[in-house]
Structure 1
Amino acid sequence: MGVATMDELIALVAEKTGLSPELSQTAAETVLDFLKARLPEPLPRQIDAALGNSGTSSGEDAANKMVRSLFGKE
């Protein structure tokens, strides 16, 4: 699987929870902000990279795998 985008994450949250796209976006952003605030560097940047929020990173695949596992897609 390629790099997930924020739109794909929001769609996955909506699918799994039945929330509206707007609430799914808020939920996804809240979880990501929570994780990025608590994870050691360079993981927050790798999460951003995995979701297409910055350039590619050597840890991009690991961060993408972590995010997918959080939502049961591992």
Structure 2
Amino acid sequence: MLTVQLMVDPLSPTPLYMQVADLLAARIESGELRAGKPIPSESQIRGEYGVARGTARAAVAELRNRGLVVTIHARGTFVVER
């Protein structure tokens, strides 16, 4: 399994939340984050990528908008089946 671990670029014109969403999407596409399994929590995303809570939250929302994850109240956010 290929592990995708890149960092965000605060000097990039691309918003940080979009960079994080793209990095997480790449991990989903690579199979590192598998269907039916939870994605990292907002706290874990903050720690891994060095971003603020709101940025982590917006990145997860972007993944939901792309149809890559689903959030289940009181359970977490999970990669969807493709």
TM-score (norm 2): 0.35
The structure carrying a bigger strand percent of its residues is 2
The structure carrying a bigger helix percent of its residues is 1
TM-score (norm 1): 0.38
